[in-house]
Structure 1
Amino acid sequence: MSVTTKTDGAGDSALVFEQRIQDLCHDELFEQGTGSEVAYDLISNELLLDGSARLNLATFVTTWMPPPAGALMAKTADKNM
């Protein structure tokens, strides 16, 4: 009989909020994975920090600009979000 049992990660999402989460490592793989719901919650929360156009000061104070400035903003719109 095995001492450890393999689970599908069900119920692990509560652990995200019950214990301190270490920063996700961006340059190496872990030996053991995490549940899909936990991974979804972590990534979803990180995406919330990427930016929101409604909170970006430049989206509602820009009233007029010369055409070249508009062209530059259009080229970098995907980088700003």
Structure 2
Amino acid sequence: RAELGFAGDDPDAIEDMFALKYRGARFSLGYGACPDLEDRAKIAELLQPERIGVKLSEEFQLHPEQSTDAIVLHHPEAKYFNAGGGRA
């Protein structure tokens, strides 16, 4: 956020951070906005995570265990949403 030049726009109150009153959004697979973990295979095909030692299992889990991925949007109007009909 600092490198992109808008960290100064972040709210001062920690409560506002928890209330998502900051610029951008981070969408993780398997949660409301991106409920289908199988989409991780498409991302893995594009990014080739094996280049950095990360592998995708048949169950669409990343290994080593603490590995993570996300779609990060910095647009000021990017907001979380639920596309999974109750799946989270």
Common fold: TM-score over 0.5: no
* Higher percent of residues as helix: 1
As a proportion of its length, which structure holds more strand?
A: 2
TM-score (ref. length: structure 1): 0.28
Q: Which structure's relative contact order is higher, taking Cα pairs within 8 Å and 6+ residues apart? A: 2
